[in-house]
């Protein structure tokens, strides 16, 4: 991303740089998606426990 910042003032990014940035961003998106899904599972489990303890 530093490359994107430095090149943004000088012109367009090269296709290699763009491709690398997209690859990094896709990896970050996948990682964050996995984290969200894991947190959702934890919340669901906690909600089930709460329901069981109240019911």
| pLDDT tens for each residue of 1-55 | 565 565 555 568 999 999 999 999 999 999 999 999 999 999 999 999 999 999 8
Q: What is the pTM of this model?
A: 0.68
- What is the predicted pLDDT for the residue at 54? 95
- What is the predicted pLDDT for the residue at 13? 92
- What is the predicted pLDDT for the residue at 7? 53
**DSSP assignments along the chain, one per residue:** -HHHHHHHTTSPPPHHHHHHHHHHHHHHHHHHHHHHHHHHHHHHHHHHHHHHHH-
- What is the predicted pLDDT for the residue at 9? 57
């Amino acid at each position: 991303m530093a490359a994107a910042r430095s090149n943004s003032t000088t012109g367009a990014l090269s296709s290699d740089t763009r491709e690398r940035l997209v690859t990094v961003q896709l990896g970050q998106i996948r990682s964050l998606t996995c984290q969200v899904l894991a947190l959702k599972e934890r919340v669901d489990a906690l909600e089930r426990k709460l329901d069981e303890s109240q019911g």
